[in-house]
Amino acid sequence: MGVKYGREYVDILHDLQKILVQIEGIHLFFEMSDEEWGTLSEQQQMDCLQTVADDIFYGLGKEPTLQIGNATITYYPNRHMIFVNHPTGVDHIISLIES
């Protein structure tokens, strides 16, 4: 199936990466402890998150909903959007097409 998009792929990944940094426990996705994650530079952390963003994008093409850390990420193909929902009630929307 795959995720269909009309924006630049790199821009979509960048938006997703900025949201991933806000997910509590994101480092557990890498099987890293708080201490291990904390020893990485900000650039190294962002590089890891870019990889996760790419993995999520690919994963959403196979499974429309993924659980990452404490967030639920859902792809809505008819709306051309990815929703990121946090248990705190903070939600993010990534548009997959130019507005």
pLDDT tens-digit map of 41-84: 999 999 999 999 999 999 999 999 999 988 999 999 999 999 99
Q: 62-66: long-range contacts at Cβ-Cβ below 8 A with a sequence spacing of 24 or more?
A: 62/1
pLDDT at 65: 96
Question: In this structure, are residues 29 and 20 in contact, taking their beta carbons and an 8 Å threshold?
Answer: no
Question: In this structure, are residues 26 and 69 in contact, taking their beta carbons and an 8 Å threshold?
Answer: yes
Q: Note the pLDDT tens digit of each residue in 13-35.
A: 999 999 998 888 888 888 999 99
β-strand partners of 65: 74
pLDDT at 30: 85
pLDDT at 89: 80
pLDDT at 1: 65
